[in-house]
Amino acid sequence: MLHLSFLPGDLRPAQPMTDEANKDAPALPHFLDQHREQLVARVTSVDSLLDKLHGTLLSQEEYEAVRAEATNQDRMRKLFIFSRSWDKTCKNKVYQALKETHPHLMMDLLEKLSGISVGS
């Protein structure tokens, strides 16, 4: 029988925090979910965003359905309809594509989120 004793001042490293330890912590909404309204209103080049997502996240049918909408706002709304089935990895792809296609908008939204001006 193995008996372990722990002495005061034991210097073994603490166990790293795992997802299990954080399972009761409330999950913060993804950036896309937090800023949906602003993204719908302010993304001006939806086609370039769709081009980045086509084939990796959007099927040909989804791509065409979004492009068929009349206005940029309607296109973004349609894109967000598809986002209901996306996991965090998928949403991260959209976030990255937005950073590449709309860097100034994303910087503005990040500044508002953090309350810190990145430009100063």
Return all residues near 67 (Cβ < 8 A) that are at least 6 apart.
47, 50, 75
Q: Which two tokens stand for residue 12?
A: 């073994």
Distance CA 48, CA 100 (A): 10
Could you tell me where the DSSP H helices lie in 2-118?
31-34, 36-42, 46-53, 60-67, 72-83, 88-101, 103-114
pLDDT in tens, the chain (120 residues): 555 555 555 454 444 444 454 455 567 789 999 999 999 999 999 999 999 999 999 999 999 999 999 999 999 999 999 998 899 999 999 999 999 999 999 999 988 877 765 554
Distance CA 30, CA 36 (A): 10
For the chain, the domains span 31-114
CATH class assigned to 31-114: mainly alpha
Distance CA 87, CA 57 (A): 11
Helix (H) or strand (E) holding 50: helix 46-53
